[in-house]
Structure 1
Amino acid sequence: MNETTRTPAAAEQAAGHPDDIARRVVSRCRQLGLGQDEVAARAGMSPRYLGQLLDFGPGFDPGAVFRLARVLGVSRADLVEGRADAPPGRAPGAARARMLRLTEQECWDRLGTHGVGRLALPGERFPLVLPVNYTVDGTTVAYRTADFGAAAAAVGDGVAFEVDRIDEHRSSGWSVLLGGRAERVQDPEAERRLVELAVGEPWAGGHRTLWIRVVPESVTGRVVGPAGGRGGGGRGGGGGGA
């Protein structure tokens, strides 16, 4: 069958590969904090049928795909074809939105799911804010940089470290802010531990062997989203420092 004679079902199958759709469903379930069995029940199907739907793609049961998209809070086109996210902050706020404070443990739980944050440190004329890959080690975060790099904070510098997650589609998200002091890691055993904890190499590349630890004196966080949920969930990989 050539391109001009392809049936509508075949064309849709090409637009939305089952593997891609399955990944979107799994990712969205994690964002919403829902199990796939619960999602299946809300969409009026059994978990086994949901598995078949993900295996065979949107042409298998278009009506079931529509119900699944509605339960996941996305459009059918977004589920089948994917979507290019708009720049953050352009979507309208959620209806009946509310903001809650995170406990310190909830802050650390969220810090452990991500690998890129923003470091604020003193500058010559004004504070510098730099994105860095990071690793969580107990109740501290650490990152790698070059000995004389812009992120090479001096021992004792007052610094802040921020990580956030935004769900543009749901107009929700969370942020965690640490305030504390910078320490340079010079103990070989501590360096080896951080290397083992790191998931990847610094994105910026280059020779970055200096580990700097942020020892927090305060840990605060907020979550904003629709009333009735904690908002802005989702898990990601840990980082390797930059």
Structure 2
Amino acid sequence: MTKHQQDAGAQAAMRRRITERCDQLGISREDLAAKAGMAPPYLSYLTETAPGFDPAGLLRVAAALGLSYQELTEGRADAAPGQQGRVARPALVRLTEEECWERLGGHGVGRIALPDAEGPTVVPVNYLVDGHTVVYRTAPDAVGACAAGDPLSFQADRVDEQLRNGWSVLLVGTAERPTPPEAAALDDRADQGRPWVGPARQLWIRVRPHRVTGRRIGTVDPSGHLA
């Protein structure tokens, strides 16, 4: 069996686990997407790709289902005798809009998602926070070179190495083209000693959000305390 076949089999098994867990909880895929803080098309896209593509997104799905990351992606192992119900479980906590912007900080690496006839196109980008918007720089002929008014989403997240906790922030909005003076100021910010991947002094796109949501991912210990 090739690696591609193994990956396809693992993804199919994970989708079955999601369906079975949704049936157990009495929720739809749309309900699950809402609990995980993502659009239903992105949830479908996420479960069709390798787990390494967006582990934070999968962790949010797992937490929304009351499963650990490993239980979602690899299957549930039997707990040791006497330990049933005493294992720490992941939990999702909603972030306020202010907490979302605090976690985004001033700059970092995130993803933009653009609508496509066959599903969302997701592209990694370096970003800057500019007021209560996010901006990124791209080439005029690149996938991310949106026209003003185009719908798009932006996501950034951080998860620890053990996939035990972290956060994820999602912006849903429309694209804007900064004015030449604004773009020049953004170029200066991007060039002030920060590593930057992508074309210099070309095209900036602003994500003007009309919805800002976020989740903090923690664990609930056997006594019921959220970490």
- State TM-score, norm by structure 2: 0.56
Residue 100 (structure 1) aligned with residue 96 (structure 2)? no
1:150 is matched with which residue? 143
Q: Is the 8 A contact 2:187 2:201 kept in 1?
A: no
Q: Write the letter of the residue equivalent to 1:203.
A: V
Q: SS of 1:196's equivalent? A: helix
The aligned residue for residue 171 of structure 1 is 164
Counterpart for residue 180 of structure 1: 173
**Cα distance in 1, alignment partners of residues 144 and 116 from structure 2:** 10
Q: Does 2:205 align with 1:212?
A: yes
Identical positions, percent: 49
Q: 2:197 aligns with which of 180, 203, 206?
A: 203
Is the 8 Å Cα contact of residues 107 and 129 (structure 2) preserved in structure 1?
no
- Note if contact 2:158-2:166 (Cα within 8 Å) is conserved in structure 1: yes
Normalised to the residue count of structure 1, the TM-score between the two structures is 0.52
- Check the 8 A contact 1:91/1:168 in 2, yes or no: no
In structure 2, what is the Cα distance between the partners aligned to 1:153 and 1:146?
10
Conserved 8 A contact 1:119-1:161: yes
Deviation at 1:214, TM superposition (A): 0.3
Q: Report the counterpart of residue 30 of structure 2 in structure 1.
A: none
Alignment-derived partner of residue 226 in structure 1 = 219
For the 8 Å contact 1:183–1:215, the answer to whether it is kept is yes
For 1:91 and 1:114, the matched residues in 2 are separated by 30
After superposing the two structures, state which structure 1 stretch, 153-162 or 163-172, moved more: 163-172
**Equivalences for residues 5-154 of structure 1 within 5 A:** 88=55, 91=70, 95-112=88-105, 114-123=107-116, 125-154=118-147
Equivalent position amino acid for 1:202 in 2: W
Secondary structure of 1:164's counterpart equals: strand
Give the whole-Å Cα distance in 2 for the aligned partners of 1:147 and 1:136: 21
Structure 2 CA distance for aligned equivalents of residues 120 and 170 of structure 1: 23
Deviation track 1:11-34 (CA, whole Å, cap 9, x = no partner) reads xxxxxxxxxxxxxxxxxxxxxxxx
Whole-angstrom distance in 2 between the partners of 1:128 and 1:154: 15
Equivalent of 1:192, from 184, 191, 195?
184
The change in CA–CA distance for 1:226 and 1:125 in structure 2 (over 3 A counts) is closer
Structure 2's unaligned 5+ residue stretches are 1-51, 60-68, 73-86
Looking at structure 2, the residues matched to 137 and 229 of structure 1 have their Cα atoms a distance apart, in angstroms, of 33
Q: Is the 8 A contact 2:187 2:200 kept in 1?
A: no
Bigger Rg over Cα? 1
SS for the counterpart of 1:163 is strand
How many residue pairs match? The answer is 143
> CA 1:145–1:136 in structure 2 vs 1: closer, same or farther (change >3 Å)?
same
How well do the aligned residues superpose, as a CA RMSD in angstroms?
A: 2.6
Instruction: Look up the match of 2:33.
Output: none
